Structure 1
Amino acid sequence: MAEGTGTLRGKVAIVTGGSRGMGRHFVDALVGEGASVAVLARASDELAAVAAGRQDAVLPIACDVGAPAQVAAAVAETVARFGRLDVLVNNAAVFAPFLIEQASDAEVERHVRANLLGPIWCIRAAIPHLRDTGGQIVSITSESVRMPFPYLTVYAATKAAVETLSQGLRDELRDEGIRVSVLRSGSVAGGSGGRDWDADIAGAFFQKITRTGHAAFAGAAVAPETMARTLVAMLALPRDVNLDLVEARAALPLVAG
């Protein structure tokens, strides 16, 4: 992405799920604007690599956001390293296709734990530090809240719940000077969400969303750098305004081929 202007210089952010996919682009954009960033994700080579060449600005922390004790420890480690916390980006999510009738207990519970409980645990741990800085919470949701995709109904339901959570938190935290926003993202190119999908289920999913019109609704995937710029723009606004919900979706139609 284009060289940053330093609009977030001196700020400290946590990005969950920041080791790959869209989250990695969020990290790059925030660092490019001068922020220091703690990246919370499960242990992996990708997480270890996210700080390569910029150890002063990026702190990788192995953390399961669905485990409240791990989240509390990660937030504490972030503040101990950087001295403050200004921004929490709830980006980590599980995204896998399945039919409700055929869903295993583990599949459903994994989505709820990562996609809904994860943001709750992160927000709870971050609030005392965000109160000190007049910070901001941005939770990443999905266009599927507005038009739930077949095979992704549990995913869509968890993202809708995060939007309701955010709406309630605005009033809980408004007197504390903490802003709460939602970035409702459309389809983004190069995402990592589908790379572990079963090939047969993935094929059935894409056939289904083509028949139902969901693929056309989503349109052509947005460049990840563009979505990251959207996040930066939300964070860089003056403190007297709150963007309750920004829905950033494809401007271009899906091209059949």
Structure 2
Amino acid sequence: MDDSKVALVTGGSRGIGAAIVRRLAADGMRVAFTYATKRDRAEQVVNEVNAHQGHALCLEADAADPAGIAGVVEHALDRWGRLDVVVANAGVARAGGIDTLPAEEIDQMIDVNVRGVVHTIRAALPHLRDGGRIVTIGSVNAERAPFAGAAAYAMTKAAVAGLVRGLARDLGPRGITVNNVQPGPTANDSMTVDGPAAHAMTKWLALPRIGTPEEVSALVSYLAGPEAAFVTGASLTIDGGFAA
């Protein structure tokens, strides 16, 4: 059996998630990742990784479905026989006043951004090796929400930060580190680095640009690697000075 480390990434078909899959594969890990829709996007990420002599596997699952996530963990174990790194990246964002945002949209954010993270970690823990790594992808909005309409989303990401602090205590005896990455404004499918939306965001930042998924994935790579063995229970913000 190959002794390469195995990582599981939720929501790995696009944006920050896809960058994390590519980076961990480039680091030499075998990476299983989930997608909820658009299988073609997920398969494109697999093909990109494999074209660079990496190993990736995409699996359809809703992050808010405990049975689905448990099945993904079992599939990865059947394929590669071990689990070393878990990155709970899947998330959704909806903007609106707490009194005007539809209740089902608030529930969806809680289901994916909070319950999804909990169920992912619960499914992985019995199989995660001692000395393993858990990384959650939160948001700088847990620390700062300077515009209206972010309350519900910020609530879900603040919950993740609290979860990480508690889990770090629970899992420390096993040598498992648990950390939270909090991106600020970052390029995605609807906001390119040099587009008008990105330029509008720079008024909130110390640096005159938004971030890239690859910059976030580099921080995840560090936390998943051996040099971060003494970092746990932390929320690390990567936001271009948004919260400064």
Match of 2:7 in 1: 13
- Give 1:88 shift: 0.5
Counterpart of 2:44 (choices 45, 49, 56) is: 49
Conserved in 1, the CA contact under 8 Å of 2:181 and 2:236? yes
- Give 1:14 shift: 0.7
Q: State the TM-score, normalizing by the size of structure 2.
A: 0.85
User: SS where residue 127 of structure 2 aligns?
Assistant: helix
More divergent stretch after superposition (96-105 vs 23-32): 96-105
More divergent stretch after superposition (232-241 vs 58-67): 232-241
Whole-angstrom CA distance in 2 between matches of 1:20 and 1:92 = 10
Match of 1:33 in 2: 27
Give the length in aligned residue pairs. Answer: 230
Whole-angstrom CA distance in 2 between matches of 1:33 and 1:119 = 24
Cα deviation digits, residues 193-225 of structure 1 (max 9, x gap):
779xxxxxxx9xx99x89xx7x34796211222
- Give 1:246 shift: 1.5
Match of 2:137 in 1: 140
Conserved in 2, the CA contact under 8 Å of 1:19 and 1:46? yes
Contiguous gaps of at least 5 residues in structure 1? 1-8, 196-202, 253-257
Match of 1:4 in 2: none
Whole-angstrom CA distance in 1 between matches of 2:151 and 2:20 = 26
More divergent stretch after superposition (223-232 vs 63-72): 223-232
Match of 1:83 in 2: 81
Match of 1:192 in 2: 189
User: Would you identify which runs of 4 or more consecutive aligned residues in structure 1 move more than 4 Å?
Assistant: 216-219
Cα deviation digits, residues 2-33 of structure 1 (max 9, x gap):
xxxxxxx8111111111001111111111111
User: SS where residue 83 of structure 2 aligns?
Assistant: coil
* Change in CA separation of 1:118 and 1:192 when aligned onto 2, cut-off 3 Å: farther
Matching of residues 47-196 of structure 1 within 5 Å: 47-52=42-47, 54=50, 57-130=55-128, 132-148=129-145, 149-189=147-187, 191-192=188-189
- Give 1:237 shift: 3.2
User: SS where residue 126 of structure 2 aligns?
Assistant: helix
Conserved in 1, the CA contact under 8 Å of 2:69 and 2:120? yes
CA RMSD of aligned residues (A): 2.7
Q: State the TM-score, normalizing by the size of structure 1.
A: 0.81
Cα deviation digits, residues 119-151 of structure 1 (max 9, x gap):
000000111111x34211000111111112421
Q: Does 1:250 align with 2:244?
A: no
Between the aligned residues of both structures, percent identity stands at 31
- Give 1:41 shift: 1.5
Conserved in 2, the CA contact under 8 Å of 1:96 and 1:194? no
Contiguous gaps of at least 5 residues in structure 2? none
The amino acid of 1:24's aligned partner reads A
* Change in CA separation of 1:236 and 1:249 when aligned onto 2, cut-off 3 Å: same
Conserved in 1, the CA contact under 8 Å of 2:206 and 2:241? no
Whole-angstrom CA distance in 1 between matches of 2:221 and 2:13 = 18
More divergent stretch after superposition (142-151 vs 72-81): 142-151
Conserved in 1, the CA contact under 8 Å of 2:130 and 2:174? no
User: SS where residue 165 of structure 2 aligns?
Assistant: helix
Conserved in 1, the CA contact under 8 Å of 2:22 and 2:45? no
- Give 1:186 shift: 1.4
* Change in CA separation of 1:16 and 1:68 when aligned onto 2, cut-off 3 Å: same
